[in-house]
A and B are shown apart, each in its own frame.
Chain A
């Protein structure tokens, strides 16, 4: 019989192995290239459109940086859905689980390995976007904003919360496409709409991770809450901005709860 090391102590090693093969999947299926291409196109547009239309860049570097990083939220959602949407569901839908699950490897190790692969791939994309932003700041304003680093920290945290939620959807859903679309539309449309509706009532939607992700730009160019009143009209417009530390805690909660639920559910999910 082939010699085997104890698999009880091999959990971390197994997570690393799964991560490596998942990264290979992103490369072979050209997903990583696709997300990088989207990043490149958007970046080029952000720089080229103002130049082509002879629109001057904002006078304040912070204003430009906040505007540039406004796309980071969407980029994180796209990367999260792209890399994590089918991570768990595909094992069931494609029936590859019949090969991978009857092995001495815990399902939680498989999920964690896939999580790290999705995180690393998305992180590479986001980091590249920030790097181009820093280069842009240097080129246009001749300076580097230290707040970019804080913003990058928030971006990583938001990425974790997006992945936590997407992994949960991927574990619950039967189909990969369904899980990917659910994650994308929840984060890109449903939560922002809910956020807008709650804001209209004069309440701050601090508990929504998409709202909390506003810290990515808020940390660079802070804005304060405001209420616009119209004389002679009871109508008011409320403007809220995410705050520290509650936004940080909300994003952390989505990440931890999403991933924990995914890990708990994968052990119960049947491969019938």
Chain B
């Protein structure tokens, strides 16, 4: 079943084309990163899904309900965080969450438990009775996450959830999202933090200038764009003969040796990657300190696609 789908979604702001015939289908239980530069159309798509704006053309569906015409039905099982959230400053976190929970008709006893739980999850329990007017941007962002998961939705639509958070906060939010993914929830995460997407999502939809440039599993994209790289830290620098030998190994498409760092461009399966590791140590005699896939693979794909799009 498709959790989220868009068909020919197009949006003009005056004469500016913000979204150009976007077709996207997200199956239930999948986590999809929605990547693109500023002004690519990420927030516009999310706002249409959340019935905040209307498309000029096309349709959007959530759980098979039209997101515009049946918005209340469509949004029922969705937890959304759109842009930097602003709350009613005269309320406390408990009050604002109770307000939203009551609007969602969550029974009172259950609502109390959920409010306590989500405030603990986002580490705001200590400030549960403090007026939101006194909150920092990061605290508001945490509260934004809390309201999105308050009703334990099956679909999460998040627009830059780590915005305004310190590194620890970013890590904690990532952990919350990962836990949601593990529980089998559908996550649609708009971000320009590639690392965040790589860590939490199984697929990526890449947009630029309102157009969908690519949509696939992350490893497929890395393979197609030959972007998979392995970082090897060496005990001692390699001589050029050994570098040439590495180039000849199976599935290796590029080798860059800089002092004690070796970057290997690799196009193969996980099993073939294991074979490569063995070959490097056993056949070539590389003295290895560490061996890890590069976190820059997605960045490579992203840059290639955005460059092609331009």
Q: Tell me which of B99-107, B172-180, B280-288 binds A.
A: B99-107
Report A-chain residues with C-beta under 8 Å of the C-beta of B105.
4-7, 10, 13
> Distance in Å from the Cβ of B263 to the closest Cβ of chain A?
42
Query: Which residues of B from 59 to 82 have beta carbons under 8 Å from A?
Result: 72-73, 75-78, 80, 82
Report A-chain residues with C-beta under 8 Å of the C-beta of B72.
7-8, 104-106
Instruction: Tell yes or no: A101 within 8 A of B by CB.
Output: yes
Task: Take A17-B103, A95-B86 as given contacts and tell me if A102 and B76 are in contact as well, using a CB distance cutoff of 8 Å.
Answer: no
> Distance in Å from the Cβ of B121 to the closest Cβ of chain A?
14
Task: Take A24-B90, A272-B47 as given contacts and tell me if A1 and B85 are in contact as well, using a CB distance cutoff of 8 Å.
Answer: no
Contact between A29 and B90 (Cβ–Cβ < 8 Å)?
yes
Instruction: Tell yes or no: B41 within 8 A of A by CB.
Output: no
Report B-chain residues with C-beta under 8 Å of the C-beta of A21.
88, 91, 95, 99
Per-residue A-contact encoding for B82-96, CB less than 8 Å = 1, 0 else: 111111101100011
Report B-chain residues with C-beta under 8 Å of the C-beta of A8.
72
**Distance in angstroms between the alpha carbons of A95 and B87 in the assembled complex:** 8
Instruction: Tell yes or no: B10 within 8 A of A by CB.
Output: no
Report A-chain residues with C-beta under 8 Å of the C-beta of B53.
270-272
Contact between A270 and B103 (Cβ–Cβ < 8 Å)?
no
Contact between A17 and B102 (Cβ–Cβ < 8 Å)?
yes
Contact between B76 and A98 (Cβ–Cβ < 8 Å)?
no
Contact between A28 and B76 (Cβ–Cβ < 8 Å)?
no
Instruction: Tell yes or no: A227 within 8 A of B by CB.
Output: no
Query: Which residues of A from 8 to 31 have beta carbons under 8 Å from B?
Result: 8, 10, 13-14, 17-18, 21, 24-25, 28-29
Instruction: Tell yes or no: B110 within 8 A of A by CB.
Output: yes
**Distance in angstroms between the alpha carbons of A229 and B208 in the assembled complex:** 76
Contact between A98 and B86 (Cβ–Cβ < 8 Å)?
yes
Contact between A99 and B54 (Cβ–Cβ < 8 Å)?
no
Instruction: Tell yes or no: A55 within 8 A of B by CB.
Output: no
Instruction: Tell yes or no: B300 within 8 A of A by CB.
Output: no
> Distance in Å from the Cβ of A143 to the closest Cβ of chain B?
44
Task: Take A98-B52, A270-B53, A271-B47 as given contacts and tell me if A1 and B152 are in contact as well, using a CB distance cutoff of 8 Å.
Answer: yes
Task: Take A102-B82, A103-B103 as given contacts and tell me if A4 and B87 are in contact as well, using a CB distance cutoff of 8 Å.
Answer: no
Contact between B99 and A98 (Cβ–Cβ < 8 Å)?
no
Dominant secondary structure at the B interface: loop
Instruction: Tell yes or no: A58 within 8 A of B by CB.
Output: no
Instruction: Tell yes or no: A3 within 8 A of B by CB.
Output: yes
Report A-chain residues with C-beta under 8 Å of the C-beta of B31.
none
Residue of B nearest to A25 (CB): B90
Per-residue B-contact encoding for A20-62, CB less than 8 Å = 1, 0 else: 0100110011000000000000000000000000000000000
Task: Among B52, B73, B95, B154, point to the contact of A270 (Cβ < 8 A).
Answer: B52
Interface centre among B51, B52, B103, B114 (most CB of A within 10 A): B103
**Distance in angstroms between the alpha carbons of A102 and B67 in the assembled complex:** 11
Instruction: Tell yes or no: B151 within 8 A of A by CB.
Output: yes
Contact between A102 and B151 (Cβ–Cβ < 8 Å)?
no
Task: Take A4-B151, A270-B53 as given contacts and tell me if A99 and B100 are in contact as well, using a CB distance cutoff of 8 Å.
Answer: yes
Task: Take A1-B153, A3-B106 as given contacts and tell me if A102 and B86 are in contact as well, using a CB distance cutoff of 8 Å.
Answer: no
> Distance in Å from the Cβ of B72 to the closest Cβ of chain A?
4
**Distance in angstroms between the alpha carbons of A14 and B150 in the assembled complex:** 18
**Distance in angstroms between the alpha carbons of A268 and B51 in the assembled complex:** 10
Contact between A98 and B104 (Cβ–Cβ < 8 Å)?
no
Report A-chain residues with C-beta under 8 Å of the C-beta of B104.
2, 4, 7, 103-104
Task: Take A1-B153, A28-B90 as given contacts and tell me if A99 and B144 are in contact as well, using a CB distance cutoff of 8 Å.
Answer: yes
Contact between B85 and A14 (Cβ–Cβ < 8 Å)?
no
> Distance in Å from the Cβ of B300 to the closest Cβ of chain A?
33
Task: Among B75, B99, B102, B114, point to the contact of A102 (Cβ < 8 A).
Answer: B75
**Distance in angstroms between the alpha carbons of A14 and B50 in the assembled complex:** 19
Instruction: Tell yes or no: A96 within 8 A of B by CB.
Output: yes
**Distance in angstroms between the alpha carbons of A29 and B107 in the assembled complex:** 29
Residue of B nearest to A5 (CB): B105
**Distance in angstroms between the alpha carbons of A43 and B154 in the assembled complex:** 57
Task: Among B50, B110, B150, point to the contact of A101 (Cβ < 8 A).
Answer: B50
Task: Among B75, B83, B88, B100, point to the contact of A98 (Cβ < 8 A).
Answer: B83
Report A-chain residues with C-beta under 8 Å of the C-beta of B106.
2-4
Contact between A17 and B99 (Cβ–Cβ < 8 Å)?
yes
> Distance in Å from the Cβ of B115 to the closest Cβ of chain A?
11
Report A-chain residues with C-beta under 8 Å of the C-beta of B77.
1
Known: A4-B151, A24-B91. 16 other contacts (CB 8 A): A2-B151, A4-B76, A5-B107, A10-B105, A13-B105, A18-B103, A21-B99, A28-B90, A29-B90, A96-B86, A98-B52, A99-B86, A102-B82, A102-B157, A103-B75, A272-B13
Report 11 cross-chain contacts, Cβ distance below 8 Å, ordered by A residue.
A7-B104, A17-B103, A21-B91, A25-B88, A95-B83, A96-B86, A98-B83, A103-B75, A104-B76, A106-B72, A271-B52
Chain B residues engaging chain A, CB cutoff 8 angstroms: 13, 47, 50-54, 72-73, 75-78, 80, 82-88, 90-91, 95-96, 99-100, 102-107, 110, 114, 144, 147, 150-154, 157
